[in-house]
Amino acid sequence: DSGVTQTPKHLITATGQRVTLRCSPRSGDLSVYWYQQSLDQGLQFLIQYYNGEERAKGNILERFSAQQFPDLHSELNLSSLELGDSALYFCASSVALAPYEQYFGPGTRLTVT
Amino acid sequence: AQSVTQLGSHVSVSEGALVLLRCNYSSSVPPYLFWYVQYPNQGLQLLLKYTTGATLVKGINGFEAEFKKSETSFHLTKPSAHMSDAAEYFCAVSVGFQKLVFGTGTRLLVSP
């Protein structure tokens, strides 16, 4: 158990819908990262927050957004969902910016039908 | 841009045999390198990391990796494979202190 929690574990929704994925980092970790894992793209970095502020953006679509709240939990919002958005979404956290190791949550499996 | 290449999408070994998973990196600055393992239907677990200092890094579950700058490599080894080592292994490089860039992964298969 990494100490990073993610909810829900599974999510099945239809195209065009909007979902919110939630992540609670390890106690004391200030930095949160979101990654997408799919068969065709592998593990891709989406976005990073540090102490409530966005610090880095990766291959994140405009339909996707995220935020980190004062209690340091983070949410990833996915809207206008397409079939190709089906993937595993991981949240990771680290103590500070780097090069500290990132601890990964169990992931949310999103299935868009 | 920093990147990692993992040679071999699948590696098969017998129980008790040496495990060698290959990772080569590309980086314009001194890299920070990591190996993660992913068991089926689970998240990624850190096996070991290299930041600075000793080039031979020991991790959990008997795994170790050696940073070789001259070969731009960070191969993962374990002297004797166990059935429980069957999983997918990812090499990653830290980029700009902001994200990890992962390789495509190597699935380790262990046969009795």
Mean pLDDT of B70-83: 96
Average model confidence (pLDDT) across chain B = 92
Neighbours of A23 (CB within 10 A): 26
Q: What is the pLDDT of residue A109?
A: 96
CB contact under 8 A, B97 and A90: no
**What would the pLDDT profile of A20-40 be if each residue is shown by its tens digit?**
999 999 999 999 999 999 988
DSSP structural state of residue A60: -
Chain A residue numbers with beta carbons less than 8 Å from the beta carbon of B43 are 2, 4, 90, 104-107
CB contact under 8 A, B43 and A33: no
**What would the pLDDT profile of B24-72 be if each residue is shown by its tens digit?**
999 877 788 999 999 988 899 999 999 888 889 999 999 999 999 999 9
Q: Which residue of B has its CA nearest to A42?
A: B104
Q: What is the pLDDT of residue B97?
A: 67
Q: With the CA atoms of B65, B66, B72 and B76 taken in that order, what torsion angle do they form, in degrees rounded to the nearest 10? A: -20
What is the amino acid identity at position B38? Q
Q: Any idea which of A64-78, A87-101, B78-92 has the lowest mean pLDDT?
A: A87-101
Q: Does B9 touch chain A (CB under 8 A)?
A: no
Burial of B14 (0-12, 13-18, 19+ CB in 10 A): exposed
**What would the pLDDT profile of A34-61 be if each residue is shown by its tens digit?**
999 998 888 999 999 999 999 989 989 9
Q: How confident is the model at residue A98 (pLDDT cuts 50, 70, 90)?
A: low
- Is 70 exceeded by the pLDDT of residue A99? no
Strands A74-78 and A19-24: antiparallel
Under 8 Å between Cβ of B96 and B39: no
Mean pLDDT of A72-90: 97
- What whole-number percentage of chain B has pLDDT above 90? 75
